[in-house]
Amino acid sequence: MSRSQTPSDAAPKSCRQCSEDLPEAMTRRGLCYECTRVQDFRRPIENHHPFGRYNGAVEAITVEIPGNWHRVLNARANERPPILKRPGDNPLHQIASAVAALGEAVATFADFARRQQWPEWAAKLADRFAAAADSASTWLLVLAGRLDDRLGPEWRRDLDLPLWEI
Amino acid sequence: MGNMKPPPTTLPTATRAWCLRDPLTAAGHITHSSPILLRTPRERPKRFIALHTESAETTTTLAQGFEGERRAADGQGLFFGCAVIGETRNWRVRREVIFYPDDLPRADLAVLRQYINDRTFPRGARPRNEGDPAPDLIWRDERRVVAQLLPLSRFLKLFYLVAHADRELVVGFDLASHLSRLATDWHEVKKGANVGAWHLDLCTYRVAPTGKIRPDRWRPGIIINRKTADVVFIEFAGYYRGEFLDPANLARGLTGRHWTLSEALAAFTGEVMDKATEPCRLTCDALDHCRAKLRGTLSLTGTLIELFDQLHPVSRGARGRLSETHVYSPGGLARSYLDAAGFSAPTVPEDRLGPCAGALFGPWAEVQVRDRLPLVHVDFRRDYQTVFLLQRLQDLLAAERLEFVDDTQAVRAFVDSHRRQSTGPSDIPAA
């Protein structure tokens, strides 16, 4: 992956070849990420791990998406709190992580819809879902903390809950 | 008496300044002569860090009857402080840090911990396996804001990461005083462009063999240069000068008067600040008040920057060249407008600056009254405008550079003719 911009760079605003101007997609070469991949004789498409790579089961789930939008999604995922990046074996953490990933995908979809000049309702609807997903993942994490405090770390076994699977 | 100096002799010379028009470029734009204003400012940073501190001592600590009531303090040292990190796009806060001196007594630290525990939720369960991340804390009333309690040494690392490494905006009302409370060492600047300013060392380390305390070379100090009572320049000492924004400066630049935080909040945002609590006693109320002041500062900054962008096309938020961090007075704004119109200070040879300053005659009139009185500027004869037009000073403003040539004979002839035309030779004795 090409190195992203640092604050001291005189940041090129758009790609010299395709005029792409997604800030997350711009590289130091003055090209967007997809164009740098093409220049290096690689495919502009990449495999995206929508639910992260914190264990083998979720790592196996991939979707092919354009490289530029892959970088946008990764930038959003990097802003998550550490507990959503590495949720461990707590099912509520894992569900919160999946809900956060859903919110990030929907927020990216809203950006995509605006850039493609799709009808405004599509982007607005996506924004609403993204906000709801963000709130839900936070609430699930708070619930996980409360259950841990009140019922102890083995509450899942005590309640005889099934495993959560994607 | 033998060492008495003879009176200075006046040299019978005169000079005239010739104005050279700025050449037009091929595109028809006027080239800018001032290298400072030619520099286009960076885009407004995407994130900000705003801070507010409470000092350990106030004037009441020293007042009669108050001695010993409060915690012993070293001067104006830091007692505790709050900082928030967020986005300048919508001035939304993402993270809030309450910081305290590393040597804060345990009793006070317990108050801080209790305050955080009572007002936050842990976001997640405790880690069960090695390597699992610990949950962070979010405020109960603001669930999108992560809360942290940090000692000053760790907060300074975060501060430099945001303000220096990431080059984000630093915001604070009366920012210089808050930054000075974070410093561990300070000295006067002895050379360079900031002679006489204060150099604050925020991050220091102890050299192992000698035990001496040295400033951290990777986290440069902060230079505070007080030009006048209300104008304080703040910058990092290294090659990167930083982006420091004091909303008090911006409010003064936009309105031409001094504002306190509560006055400015009431005028610009309509918010009312609660009355100050005792800042020298670490209580929940004092912490609430400190946080409220910080939120007020943020609200004021957002409103002022929005006004600045809307009202002034020279603002960098409106694709102009003037950064909101460089607005200190209405004069600065006017200078930026002149620059945008192609009028900037002409280049003057350095050896002519002294004679020009010596030739300046500035009349001064004042009335000394110990109060703030309503004042109306009455220039009923339009003296300044008339002088500006008659002297053709616009030519000077539009000049690329000023060249000084010896023109004594012509000036003498001009003065003589002027005397004869206006007052007559009988009124003024001949030279």
Q: Which amino acid makes up residue B379?
A: D
Test A141 with B143 for CB contact under 8 angstroms. Answer: no
Integer Cα distance of B185 and B81 in angstroms: 18
The residues, ordered by sequence, that sit 6+ positions from B359 with a Cβ below 8 Å of its Cβ are none
pLDDT at B420: 65
How far does the CA of residue B160 sit from the closest CA of chain A (Å)?
14
Test A153 with B126 for CB contact under 8 angstroms. Answer: yes
Confidence check: pLDDT of B39 > 80: no
Nearest Cα to Cα of residue A92 among A137, A150, A54: A137
Integer Cα distance of A13 and A26 in angstroms: 8
Tens digit of each residue's pLDDT (9 = 90 or more) over B360-403: 777 777 777 777 777 777 666 677 778 888 888 888 878 888 88
Nearest Cα to Cα of residue B80 among B53, B107, B41: B53
Integer Cα distance of A63 and A70 in angstroms: 10
Tens digit of each residue's pLDDT (9 = 90 or more) over A114-125: 999 999 999 999
Highest mean pLDDT pick, A62-71, B48-57, B279-288: A62-71
pLDDT at A56: 85
* C-alpha to C-alpha distances, B294 to B130, B247, B311, B328, nearest whole angstrom: 38, 12, 25, 21
Which of B124, B144, B165 faces A141 most closely, judged by CB atoms?
A: B124
pLDDT at A3: 46
Nearest Cα to Cα of residue A134 among A109, A97, A166, A86: A97
Asked if A138 has any chain B CB less than 8 Å from its own CB, the reply is yes
Confidence check: pLDDT of A64 > 80: yes
Confidence check: pLDDT of B161 > 90: yes
**B214 DSSP β-pair partners:** B205
The two structure tokens encoding residue A91: 């099912």
How far does the CA of residue B322 sit from the closest CA of chain A (Å)?
19
User: Are A33 and A71 within 8 A, CB to CB?
Assistant: yes
Asked if A78 has any chain B CB less than 8 Å from its own CB, the reply is no
Asked if B130 has any chain A CB less than 8 Å from its own CB, the reply is no
Test A83 with B136 for CB contact under 8 angstroms. Answer: yes
User: Are B151 and A151 within 8 A, CB to CB?
Assistant: no
Asked if B166 has any chain A CB less than 8 Å from its own CB, the reply is yes
Which of A86, A89, A138 faces B133 most closely, judged by CB atoms?
A: A86
Q: What are phi and psi of B140, to 5 degrees?
A: -70, -35
Integer Cα distance of B38 and B336 in angstroms: 11
Asked if B238 has any chain A CB less than 8 Å from its own CB, the reply is no
Confidence check: pLDDT of A99 > 50: yes
Test A83 with B135 for CB contact under 8 angstroms. Answer: yes
Test B125 with A81 for CB contact under 8 angstroms. Answer: no
Stronger pLDDT, B23 or A141, i.e. the higher one: A141
Confidence of residue B78 (pLDDT cuts 50, 70, 90): confident
Test B128 with A89 for CB contact under 8 angstroms. Answer: yes
Asked if B395 has any chain A CB less than 8 Å from its own CB, the reply is no
The residues, ordered by sequence, that sit 6+ positions from B40 with a Cβ below 8 Å of its Cβ are B321
Mean pLDDT of B181-202: 89
Q: Which amino acid makes up residue B414?
A: F
Mean pLDDT of B15-43: 52
Mean pLDDT of B315-323: 89
Asked if B90 has any chain A CB less than 8 Å from its own CB, the reply is no
Q: Would you say the C-alpha torsion B224, B227, B232, B235 has a positive or negative sign?
A: negative
Asked if A21 has any chain B CB less than 8 Å from its own CB, the reply is no
Question: Scanning the structure block, which residue is given the tokens 């196996």?
Answer: A60
Integer Cα distance of B272 and A165 in angstroms: 51
Confidence check: pLDDT of B61 > 70: no
Integer Cα distance of A59 and B179 in angstroms: 46
Nearest Cα to Cα of residue B125 among B135, B116, B136: B135
Average predicted confidence (pLDDT) for chain B: 81
Find how far residue B297's CA is from the centre of its chain: 15
SS3 of chain B: helix, strand, coil, percent, to 5? 35, 20, 45
Mean pLDDT of B154-159: 94
Tens digit of each residue's pLDDT (9 = 90 or more) over A17-31: 998 989 899 998 889
Q: How many helices (H) and strands (E) does chain A have?
A: 7, 2
Nearest Cα to Cα of residue B399 among B35, B29, B28, B30: B30
Asked if B187 has any chain A CB less than 8 Å from its own CB, the reply is no
HEC string for B202-256: CCEEECCCCCCEEECCCCCCEEEEECCCCCEEEEECCCCCCEEECHHHHHHHHHC
Rg of the Cα atoms in chain A: 19
Integer Cα distance of B65 and B60 in angstroms: 9
Question: Scanning the structure block, which residue is given the tokens 């002022």?
Answer: B304
Integer Cα distance of A100 and A105 in angstroms: 9
How far does the CA of residue B168 sit from the closest CA of chain A (Å)?
9
Nearest Cα to Cα of residue B340 among B44, B36, B32: B32
Confidence check: pLDDT of A87 > 70: yes
Q: Which residues of A touch B120 (CB under 8 A)?
A: none
What pTM, to 2 d.p., does this model score? Answer: 0.78
Q: Which residues of B touch A82 (CB under 8 A)?
A: 133-134, 136
Stronger pLDDT, B325 or B361, i.e. the higher one: B325
Confidence of residue A154 (pLDDT cuts 50, 70, 90): confident
Asked if A141 has any chain B CB less than 8 Å from its own CB, the reply is yes
The full length of chain B comes to 431
* C-alpha to C-alpha distances, B132 to A82, A96, B126, B312, nearest whole angstrom: 9, 15, 9, 51
Stronger pLDDT, B35 or B278, i.e. the higher one: B278
Q: Which residues of A touch B88 (CB under 8 A)?
A: none
Asked if A144 has any chain B CB less than 8 Å from its own CB, the reply is yes
B132, B136, B168, best to mutate vs chain A, most A CBs in 10 Å: B132
Nearest Cα to Cα of residue B269 among B317, B311, B301: B301
Mean pLDDT of B304-310: 94
Asked if A7 has any chain B CB less than 8 Å from its own CB, the reply is yes
Confidence check: pLDDT of B28 > 70: no
Test A144 with B131 for CB contact under 8 angstroms. Answer: no
**DSSP letters for B347-382:** B--HHHHHHHHHH----------SS--------TT-
Strands B243-245 and B169-171 come out as: parallel
